[in-house]
Structure 1
Amino acid sequence: MKEDFLHYIWQFKKFDFSNLETVQGEKLILFNSGHYLQLAGPDFFNSQLSIGEQKWAGNVEIHLKSSDWYVHHHENDSNYDNVILHVVWEHDTEVFRKDNSEIPVLELRKYVSNQTLEKYLNLASLKSWIFCEKEIATIDDFVFKNWQEKLFFERLERKSIPIQKILQETENDWETVLFCLLGKSFGLNTNGEIFFKIAQSIPFSIIRKESFEVENLEALFFGRSGLLDADNEDSYFKDLKFRYGYAFTKYKLQQVYVDPIQFFKHRPDNFPTIRLSQLAHLYHISKNLFSSIINAQALPEFYAIFNVEVSEYWKTHYQFDKISPKKKKALTASFVDLLLINTIIPIKFAYAKSQGKDISEELIALLESIPAEKNVIIEKYSDFGIKAKNAFETQALLQLKNEYCNQKRCLECVIGLELMKS
């Protein structure tokens, strides 16, 4: 058993509270269970109850055992001085305040029905991919949809954390934030961190100045990635190497050390050379990229913004010195969808929030226009009758699995609470 079950029982009064008595033998009447804080300090704030003839308003602390009070060193923490009731599953020792007065204890297990306990144990003890896999499809659609919306915005808040970090480091330069995070997305899982570090190493003011020639941007990206460190015979390679050396001296760039760029296990169209060229071409043709992204709303607008391909050299190459059949190599719709999900939407959310604007409906509508993501987690939910129709639903399901199911937070999850009610 976990404390979250006792929090649930107390918060929603899922026990017989008609004839309560403390372990000290005093009658207890519960008027209000209080506010569930989920912060440092006591579990419930401003609970209202009476013990014996005395009415109380204060905090309630909940533990599995009374002795946990001392295990957690609450006796030395002033935040717990105003606890008026200690609610436990099992009472195994008396607990005293700093003034040596005993804290009243309610032993909850005496008042919880076997049926409620069995529901919890069944929910929490199954050895399965998710505890509710046999029942999740029975949840009311309206309830599930509202929960998905909350999950989605929880996920956006989490994705905003690295955005805020870069903002602090760059004195609120949103163009730099976009550049760095687009770099990471263009690098995919394998080279994402490397591309991110490359982008961080180039002041965005230089990107602005050099964006008029795509070759200059490619020289910067390839040079910072270490892809120009060899001695290839290719004339384009030599040209980029010369341009990078000139820019390195002109802008007094510092040497950057990154892990070797990875080509292994990538399809040729995902080679880092191709992705770096596409990123360079994007900044070559888009002089006000951040503004364009912030102002765009509908999916076709974003497809137009990211309608970019590689420079001429890379239409006939995947690597230096190796000619291949000519191919356009433009960003695909599915790749743009990934950019929107992982980079653009979190940035639009964080920027709107910084401006005091609410664009929730806009973001939901945009994600609902993007096809559902395909991965193992989404396929597994589909096996249990939860078939995602779009990217809004897949993002919510990923948040549900990673932050609730995997963490066994069933009693903080609307689905778990609904199943406990049924």
Structure 2
Amino acid sequence: MKEDFLHYLWKFKKFQFLKATTTAGEHLEILNSGWHNTEQSGPDFFNSKVKIGDQLWAGNVEIHLKSSDWYAHHHEKDPAYDNVILHVVWEHDVAVFRKDNSEIATLQLKDFVAAQTLKNYKKLMSTSQKWINCEADFAKIDDFLLKNWMERLYIERLEEKARLIYTLLEASENDWEAVLFQLLAKNFGLNRNGEAFLAMARTTPFSVIRKINEVEVLEALLFGQVNLLQKEIDDLYFVQLQKEYHYLQHKFQIQPSLEDVQFFRLRPPNFPTIRLSQLAQLFIQQKNLFSKIKSTERLEDFYELFKVETSAYWKTHYSFGKESKTTSKKLSDKFIDLLIVNTIVPLKFAYRKSLGKVEVESIFNLLSSIVAEDNSTIKKFNRLRKNTAVNAFESQALLQLKPNYCDQNKCLHCEIGASLLQRKPA
């Protein structure tokens, strides 16, 4: 048993609280459980209000597995615990006193918790050889509960992604177009080159990009900023880009990024040369892109907006100086889906939130029109419960659930886990 189980019981009154008494036999009435302190220090619940016998108490509540943990944790020496009005424990094994030698009232929870609740908890938290704790019962979860929990999970995911957006926004002096460029650069780089592309975008003034109207010039800038033009290569286009970049460097006093891009273990269509050329084409073809994205809602319109391909040189090349078979290297619908999920939707969410708007229905509708990600996590969830994730909204919610709740055994903070604790015997 862990203390977070006791936190859950106290916070949500998942015990026979109407019959509760202290270990001294006094009736205990819980008027307010208090505010849950999730920080590392201080009492577990602040501003609680309880009535013990005829006496009304207002203050903090501390929770332990055993009463003696109070002394094991040296709370008697910490002024932060001077205002504790109730000690909630699973097992009362020793009396606990304040500095004035008055005894702190104690609630022994095990006397008031139903046997079935404890049985459910032990079953849920038994992690032996399980991918997720609730895998045996996942398919039985109520559809309405699961849908609502997934909506909350996805909003939580958007909130996390918005933190990076607000950081970039502050650094760019509230230039949403510049932030869009930086986020798109990161996602054009995918997992292997995402951070290097983002570093490039952050070291490249967007005011310079705004002034460029030729794709070769923008390619020179982007390739130079990720250190792809430093070598000596016997290739006419390479030499042209190299000269153009040196001119831009001198004119705008810019320095390349310190992070190099990688080609190793990448499929040729994902080479940084190809993705940077596509990115350059996008910002040449679509001026004021953020303004267009703000008013775009339908998936088909996003496909049209991002309908770009590489410049002419890259139709016959994947790297400088090595000619290949001619192919049209366009952004695929699948790649655009990734851009919508990882860039467009979080940016729309952050922008609307900055305006004081919290409407998310259009975001859910857009993501619901995109097919779910195809990875091992989503496949396993779908094996546990058929069609758990068929669209991007559902898969994104599950990608938030697995690492942040399941992998950390935070079942008591999860609506699924909490519902399983309340199961009645079959």
Instruction: Tell me which residue corresponds to 2:3.
Output: 3
Q: CA deviation at 1:418?
A: 1.1
Q: How does 1:3-402 map to 2 (within 5 A)?
A: 3-23=3-23, 25-40=24-39, 41-72=42-73, 74-75=75-76, 79-127=80-128, 128-210=130-212, 212-259=213-260, 261-387=261-387, 388-402=389-403
Aligned to 1:409: 410
Q: Distance in 1 between matches of 2:115 and 2:323?
A: 73
Q: 1:44 to 1:185 in 2, by over 3 A?
A: same
Deviation at 1:73, TM superposition (A): 5.0
Q: 2 CA distance for matches of 1:163 and 1:302?
A: 21
- Note if contact 1:28-1:51 (Cα within 8 Å) is conserved in structure 2: yes
Does the CA-based 8 Å contact 1:26-1:52 persist in structure 2?
Answer: no
Q: 1:88 to 1:253 in 2, by over 3 A?
A: same
Distance 1:361 1:321, change over 3 A: same
User: Quick one: percent identity of the two aligned structures?
Assistant: 55
Identify the range of structure 1 (170-179 vs 289-298) with the bigger mean alpha-carbon deviation.
170-179
State the SS of the aligned residue for 1:27: coil
- Deviation digits for residues 175-223 of structure 1 (CA, Å, limit 9, x no counterpart): 221111111101110111111111111100000012x011111001111
Query: Offset at 1:157?
Result: 0.5
Deviations 1:346-404 (A, max 9, x none): 11111110111123111111100111111110000011014212000001111111111
Q: Take 2:252 and 2:308, find their aligned partners in 1: how far apart are those partners?
A: 27
Alpha-carbon shift at residue 20 of structure 1 (Å) = 3.3
The CA distance in 2 between the partners of 1:156 and 1:270, in whole Å, is 26
Q: In the TM superposition, what is the alpha-carbon distance from 1:53 to its structure 2 partner?
A: 2.8
Change (3 A) 1:336 1:74: farther
**Residues 137 and 196 (structure 1 numbering): CA distance in 2 closer, same or farther, change over 3 Å?**
same
Alpha-carbon separation, structure 1, partners of 2:345 and 2:77: 46
CA contact (8 A) 1:337 1:370 kept: yes
TM-score (norm 2): 0.93
Distance apart, 1:45 and its partner CA? 4.3
Please list the CA deviations of residues 121-155 of structure 1 after superposition, one character each: whole Å capped at 9, or x if unmatched.
11001320001101111111111111110000001
Distance 1:113 1:379, change over 3 A: same
- For residues 414 and 339 of structure 2, the distance between their equivalents in structure 1, rounded to whole angstroms, comes to 29
**Number of equivalent positions:** 419
Structure 2 unmatched runs, 5+:
none
CA contact (8 A) 2:120 2:422 kept: no
2:283 and 2:26 map into 1 onto residues whose CA distance is 72
Q: CA deviation at 1:94?
A: 3.2
**CA-CA distance at 1:279 after TM superposition:** 0.4
Asked if 1 retains the 8 angstrom alpha-carbon contact of 2:67 and 2:94, the reply is yes
Instruction: Compute the displacement of 1:68 (Å).
Output: 3.3
The answer (yes or no) to whether the contact 2:268–2:318 under 8 Å persists in 1 is: yes
**Rounded Cα–Cα distance in structure 1 between residues aligned with 2:410 and 2:321:** 54
Amino acid at match of 1:216: V
Check conservation: 1:3, 1:62, Cα contact below 8 A.
Answer: yes
CA distance, structure 2, for counterparts of residue 18 and residue 157 of structure 1: 38
1:98/1:366 CA distance change after superposition, 3 Å? farther
Which deviates the most, 160-169 or 368-377? 160-169
Distance 2:411 2:361 in 1: 28
8 Å contact 1:7–1:62 — kept in the other structure? yes
What amino acid maps onto 1:418 in structure 2? S
Which amino acid in the other structure matches residue 26 of structure 2? K
User: 1:367 is aligned with what amino acid?
Assistant: L
Structure 1 residues 240 and 375: alpha-carbon distance in aligned structure 2, compared to 1, 3 A threshold:
same
Which moved further from structure 2: 13-22 or 405-414?
A: 13-22
> Aligned equivalents of 2:356 and 2:161: distance in 1?
18
Q: Which runs of no fewer than 5 residues in structure 1 stay unpaired? A: none
Q: Once structures 1 and 2 are overlaid, which stretch shifts more, 264-273 or 373-382?
A: 264-273
Cα 1:145/1:72, change in 2 over 3 Å: same
For the Cα contact (< 8 Å) 2:281–2:310, is it kept in 1? yes
Once the two structures are TM-superposed, the CA of residue 118 in structure 1 deviates from its matched residue by 1.3
C-alpha deviation, 1:79, in angstroms: 4.8
The answer on whether the counterparts of 2:35 and 2:47 sit within 8 Å (CA) in structure 1 is no
Change (3 A) 1:72 1:184: farther
